[in-house]
Amino acid sequence: MTKAILSDTPRQNPCAQCGTPIPRPDWIEPGEGRVSYLWTCHVCNYRFEAVAVYDEAAVEHPPLAA
């Protein structure tokens, strides 16, 4: 269930301050239906977090038969 998320790590995310592409996030924190990525720009030292939200958690909850 988590392997799809891990293989989907974003790369070359532009720095929110100076726009320099950052090869990969410094830190990845998986959560419930979402993953937080912490990015650090090595050009301007700016740090920011980006959150990816996945729909998978909301999918396939078949109602219980009465």
Binding site for Zn ion (CB under 5 A): 15, 17-18, 20, 41, 43-44, 46
The two structure tokens encoding residue 24: 């990969």
Nearer to Zn ion, 44 or 53 (CB): 44
Amino acid code (one letter) for 42: H
CB 33 → Zn ion: shortest distance, Å? 29
In degrees rounded to 5, what are phi and psi of residue 25?
A: -70, 150
Nearer to Zn ion, 21 or 30 (CB): 21
For the chain, helix, strand, coil in percent to 5 are 10, 35, 55
CB 12 → Zn ion: shortest distance, Å? 13
